[in-house]
Amino acid sequence: MFLIMNAKDYFFLGLFTPHSGDRKTLQTQLNWTLRITAALCFIGHGTWGLITKSGWLPFFASQGIEGELAWTLQRLIGAFDIAMALLLLWRPNRAVILWMFLWALWTAILRPLAGNLDKPVEVTEGQWVVEIREEARSDKTQTWEFWERAGNWGPPFMLLVMGGAFAVRRRDLLGAYKEPEIKESTIDTIFFLCKLCLGLLLIGHAGFGFVVQKQMLIDHWQSIGVNADAAFISQIGYTEFALGIMIFLAPIRPLIILALGWKLFTEFLYVPADTVSGMGVVNIFEWIERWGDYGIPLAMLYILAYRAKKKA
């Protein structure tokens, strides 16, 4: 009913119009915001698996999986990711959500485990040669990558919390996941998790700038005409770090709107920068994969609007 008849009303309520203050309305908003967010993240990630991506090879290598098998596994993983996303939207159960949380958490952990093992080098005719280092670099590891992906594992974890998955019996894991009736205490918990994840993903991304000084970020800004260099992205990183801290300590509406707009804009830069070389507009799936960066602040705005109405 929500998806077909009342989608516009549910989306606008609390964002562009005052919230009703009805807890069931907020319940539906959070349920669908987090489900759509987690699904789009997996669709974005899964699409790259189907296309295949040389940048994933170090993650397989860190687990002892060689290149030829890794290319095959990418397509299988991609198809499975998309299947899980569609199940979450169409006929979810707790087992699907639990898998999505654990898989998103594991793929985030793989970043520091891989530890900058390689950088792919493009050669003629679009072929790639990937040299895997025997040991990871110790100076600038990818720990920041783990925190930056809080937007991937956060939403499915919040769905588990909302649905009381940690208090159910094992046989209930395969039962249908219906929109859970949430209490005020659950709303408070979801809001805490949201501000924690939003703070972490901003801080993690900040580290790309002022610690790692990723060339990718320089390329992103230069793609829109900004004369960016390492010093420029370092300053951006310090600003993002401060924003992440402020949102965790004082999650007020203007800061959350700022974070939402900032992430929508900066993550879209994957497209004009052609980050995955030669893929052009297909880089939009990088933006889609990071939907948690947008869905989490959206959920926070709904909760703040609900609280404001309750206090009025």
Domain range for residue 35? 22-123+133-311
Residue 118 has pLDDT above 50, yes or no: no
- pLDDT tens profile 18-59: 999 999 999 999 999 999 999 999 999 999 999 998 888 888
- pLDDT tens profile 9-24: 778 888 888 999 999 9
Residue 172 has pLDDT above 80, yes or no: no
Q: For the whole model, what pTM was predicted?
A: 0.89
Count the domains in the chain.
1
CA distances from 27 to 17, 35, 124, 181, 289 (A): 17, 12, 53, 7, 24
Contacts of 172 (CB under 8 A, 6+ apart): 94
CA distances from 311 to 70, 90, 289 (A): 54, 36, 36
Domain for residue 249, yes or no? yes
Contacts of 235 (CB under 8 A, 6+ apart): 209, 210
- pLDDT tens profile 173-206: 777 778 888 999 999 999 999 999 999 999 999 9
CA distances from 95 to 84, 163, 179 (A): 10, 12, 15
Domain for residue 10, yes or no? no
How many residues in total does the chain contain? 312
Domain for residue 5, yes or no? no
With tokens 């609280």, the residue in question is: 307
CA–CA gap between residue 223 and residue 142 (Å, rounded): 24
Amino acid at 122: E
Domain for residue 81, yes or no? yes
Domain for residue 191, yes or no? yes
